[in-house]
């Protein structure tokens, strides 16, 4: 009997023992998903690359640990080295909707009504995703309150127009905190009221989608105007969307409006990836262990359950979040350890996970 060969530590033996380890979100074997690559053996040291479906994977440590435990059951293993990288899947294209070259996932951030913190959430989630290593763009399509540039510290930025390789005009996005940005604010005179008819808005949104040099992006976050209007319709009919996120506060009135928004996206064939409850509770700066439910509590969770969509996060009301927005340094950069920054990062990771699940479900 040849004991050495049957017990030999080989790449095949490593893949075999990793076969039952699943991606907990996709419920499929990591090996079958081609997420385990470049298995190498050097004496008792086993090394391989784990290719996740998003750099923002919320279960990264958990999956690495599962892999290490499985490989350590093989005789002769002294150490398991896992190099973690990511390849974000691209949403499949649709016959009647034209994707953007290089842009893998387009995500709308919407709210039923204004002032719920939609832009703050969109900006911070975009920056949080970039912090995990993802390539991120932000299209600020909120004509009524295009605050994206101010919140990203790009208040004085202008859209740069130049001639592309094919002689057509192309727009260069602005860039800060790891995020590429184009905003309606770049086109609007700050002192003039915005009176745009549907076709005009439609034209600008399409220009921002297709004429901007976005380059390679894992996620393009679109900050929508509040409500259910032309911008939502244009976006949903133009590009294949990974999905929409609805931002709400815990109050009943805000939640009723959110339900309408959610129904609208469903009617347009855009999956709702989740709800984010903002201003969930107030943390006083001088009493950090206290929480006050200024706008009520539990509303986001109740609505998410009722409508069968995940609640991606509950962001507290904190003064530094507002200050960060005013100063152009998002709280995930200025105070990453704060409760709201942590919750925004968690929500961004949950969102990325939902996008990956949707991309694989559509294959």
Of the candidates 66, 230, 318, 343, which one interacts with ligand ATP according to CB under 6 A?
318
116 assigned to a ligand binding site:
yes
* Using rule CB under 6 A, residue 313 touches ligand ATP: no
Cα gap 347→339, rounded to integer Å: 12
Binding window for ligand ATP (CB under 6 A); candidates: 110-118, 128-136, 178-186, 292-300: 110-118
- Token representation of residue 276: 């984010």
Instruction: Indicate if the alpha-carbon torsion angle 174, 179, 180, 185 is positive or negative.
Output: negative
Size of the site for ligand ATP (CB under 6 A): 21
Q: Is the dihedral of CA 252, 314, 147, 244 positive or negative?
A: negative
One symbol per residue from 74 to 93: x for binding ligand ATP (CB under 6 A), - otherwise; what is it? --------------------
Determine whether 127 is exposed, middle or buried from the number of CB atoms within 10 Å of its CB (0-12, 13-18, 19+).
Answer: buried
Interface with ligand ATP, residue 11, by CB under 6 A: no
Q: Is 284 in the site for ligand ATP (CB under 6 A)?
A: no
**Per CB under 6 A, which of residues 319..338 are in contact with ligand ATP?**
321-322, 325
Which of 55, 330 has the CB closer to ligand ATP? 330
Query: Is residue 287 packed enough to be buried (19+ CB in 10 Å), middle (13-18) or exposed (0-12)?
Result: exposed
Binding segment for ligand ATP among 156-164, 204-212, 291-299, 313-321 (CB under 6 A)? 313-321
Q: Quick one: which of 278, 303, 335, 350 contacts ligand ATP (CB under 6 A)?
A: 278
Task: Give least dist CB 355 to ligand ATP, A.
Answer: 21
**Least distance (Å) from ligand ATP to the CB of residue 312?**
14
Is-contact 33 24, C-beta < 8 A? Answer: no
Q: Is 120 in the site for ligand ATP (CB under 6 A)?
A: yes
Instruction: For the CB of residue 119, give the shortest distance to ligand ATP in the complex, in Å.
Output: 3
Burial code (b: 16+ CB inside 10 Å, e: under 16) for 318-347 equals bebbeebbeebbbbbbbbeebbbbbbbbbb
Site residues (CB under 6 A) for ligand ATP, limited to 147-206: 147
| Contact status: 145 vs ligand ATP (CB under 6 A) | yes
Q: What is the DSSP letter of 53?
A: S
> Smallest gap, in angstroms, from Cβ of residue 92 to ligand ATP?
30
Query: Given its phi and psi angles, is residue 274 left (phi above 0), alpha (psi -120 to 50 degrees) or beta?
Result: left
53 vs 119, beta carbon nearer ligand ATP: 119
**Shortest distance, position 147 Cβ to ligand ATP, whole Å:** 5
Question: Known binder of ligand: residue 145?
Answer: no
Helix (H) / strand (E) element for 347: namely: helix 339-361
CB of 303 to ligand ATP, least distance (A): 17
Q: Which of 54, 88, 340, 350 binds ligand ATP (CB under 6 A)?
A: 340
Sign of the CA dihedral 257, 342, 176, 323? Answer: positive
Place of tokens 């009301």: 317
Nearer to ligand ATP, 144 or 360 (CB): 144
Neighbouring residues of 165: CB distance < 8 A, sequence distance ≥ 6: none
Q: Is 325 annotated as a binding residue?
A: no
Residue 20 CB neighbours (<10 A) = 11
Cα R_g (the chain), whole angstroms: 23
Residue 263, marked binder: no
Q: Which residues are annotated as a binding site?
A: 112-119
The residues that touch ligand ATP, with contacts defined as CB under 6 A, are 111, 114-120, 142, 145, 147, 226, 278-279, 315, 317-318, 321-322, 325, 340
């Amino acid at each position: 009997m040849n004991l050495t060969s049957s017990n030999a530590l080989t790449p095949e033996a490593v893949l075999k023992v990793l076969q039952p380890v699943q991606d907990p979100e996709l419920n499929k074997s990591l090996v079958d998903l081609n997420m385990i690559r470049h298995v190498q053996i050097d004496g008792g040291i086993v090394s391989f690359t784990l290719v996740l479906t998003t750099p923002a994977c919320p279960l990264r440590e958990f999956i690495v640990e599962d892999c290490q435990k499985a490989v350590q059951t093989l005789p002769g293993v002294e150490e398991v080295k896992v190099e973690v990288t990511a390849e974000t899947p691209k949403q499949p294209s649709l016959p009647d909707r034209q994707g953007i070259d290089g842009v893998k996932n387009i995500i709308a951030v919407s709210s039923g009504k204004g002032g719920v913190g939609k832009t703050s959430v969109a900006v911070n989630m975009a920056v949080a995703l970039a912090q995990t290593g993802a390539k991120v763009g932000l299209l600020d399509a909120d004509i009524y309150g295009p605050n994206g540039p101010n919140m990203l510290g790009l208040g004085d930025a202008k859209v740069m127009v130049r001639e592309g390789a094919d002689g057509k005009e192309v727009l260069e996005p602005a860039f800060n905190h790891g995020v590429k940005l184009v905003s309606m604010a770049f086109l609007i005179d700050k002192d003039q009221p915005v009176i745009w008819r549907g076709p005009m808005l439609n034209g600008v949104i399409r220009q921002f989608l297709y004429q901007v040099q976005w380059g390679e992006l894992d996620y393009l976050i679109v900050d929508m105007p509040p409500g259910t209007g032309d911008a939502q319709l244009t976006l949903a009919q133009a590009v294949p969307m990974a999905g929409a996120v609805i931002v709400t506060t815990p109050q009943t009135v805000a939640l009723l409006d959110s339900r309408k928004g959610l129904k609208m996206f469903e009617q347009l064939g855009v999956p709702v990836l989740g709800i984010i409850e903002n201003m969930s509770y107030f943390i006083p700066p001088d009493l950090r262990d206290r929480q006050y439910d200024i706008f009520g509590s539990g509303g986001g969770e109740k609505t998410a359950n009722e409508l069968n969509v995940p609640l991606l996060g509950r962001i507290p009301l904190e003064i530094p979040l507002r200050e960060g927005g005013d100063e152009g340094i998002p709280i995930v950069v200025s105070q990453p350890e704060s409760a709201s920054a942590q919750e925004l990062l968690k929500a961004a990771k949950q969102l990325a996970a939902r996008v990956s699940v949707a991309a694989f479900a559509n294959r």
